[in-house]
Amino acid sequence: MHQHTRQMTDVTAFAPVLRHIQTREDDPLTDDSAKDRAARLNAAVTACAAGDQSGVDAILGLEGPQLLGLAHRILSRRDLAEEALQDAMVQVWRKAAQFDAGSGSARGWIYAILRNRCLNILRDRKRLSILDPGDLATLQEGRQRIVPEEGWELLAGPGRIRACLRGLDQPSRHAILLAHVAGFTHAEIAARQDMPLGTIKSLIRRGLHALKECLT
């Protein structure tokens, strides 16, 4: 009986701490929480570079579901998404020593590695040829729907990039989103927008230039 009471006391004593951690995790918009996350991701990448596997656990603990969600949005299939994330984490591990915190955030670096891995899967005909035609159709249809012409604002989240994207002309904005969000190539975007390849290339360059000006 005495022991039971002590256990209860222990849990109560920790509750405010647990609640505090949870609040910080759940609210990525506060500066403190964003800085904390950035510091923890930096530390995790440094741990990977030093050969400490707990760095991988830390990255997956902080970003795992979001990373898997991103891979699934691009690849439409859960098995491919899991494969992409697994490969990407091995790449993060292998390249960790080359990560330069002065060049950008660890978060941006990790997401870029995953996106590249997803794009390589999408563009690897040998890899896709083992899917049956039905699965391939699901994948292609999924990609068609990622970037709607109406309601694209959802893709941009609540931040400044949304206002900046709204300031672009529609064809530039759509082409940039098709490339970055859905992983389409210049040629695929040209076909979808029914425009010449050269026009698409310059639309994207011009749009990106304006976007960067607005974001800086």
Partner 1 sequence: MTRLSDEIMALSDDYVLGLLSPAEATLMEAVIAREPELSRRVGRLRDQLLPLDLSADPMPLPEGFAAKVRGQLPAQQGTAVPSVDATPSNASGAPGRRALGLIAAAVAGLALGVGLTGMRPLPAPTVVAVLVDADGVPQAVIDDYGNDTATVRFVADVAVPADRTLQVWTLPSQDLGPISLGTLDRTAPAQLRFADLPDPGAQQLYEVTLEPLGGSPTGRPTGPIIGKGFAAPQA
CB 118 within 8 A of CB 84: yes
How far apart CA 178 and CA 141 sit, in angstroms, is 14
> Between residue 60 and residue 89, which ones bind partner 1 under the rule CB under 8 A?
60-61, 64-66, 68-70, 72-73, 78, 81-82, 85-86, 89
Taking alpha carbons only, the member of 70, 176, 177, 185 closest to residue 120 is: 185
Q: Does 107 bind partner 1 (CB under 8 A)?
A: yes
CA within 13 Å, CB half, 152: 23
Phi, psi (deg, nearest 5) at residue 198: -60, -35
| Site string (181-200) toward partner 1, x via CB under 8 A | x-x-xxx-------------
Tell me the closest approach of the beta carbon of residue 96 to partner 1, in angstroms: 8
How far apart CA 188 and CA 207 sit, in angstroms, is 18
Q: Does 212 bind partner 1 (CB under 8 A)?
A: yes
Q: Does 93 bind partner 1 (CB under 8 A)?
A: yes
Q: Does 115 bind partner 1 (CB under 8 A)?
A: yes
Among 2-10, 15-23, 137-145, 178-186, which window interacts with partner 1 (CB under 8 A)?
A: 178-186
Tell me the closest approach of the beta carbon of residue 103 to partner 1, in angstroms: 4
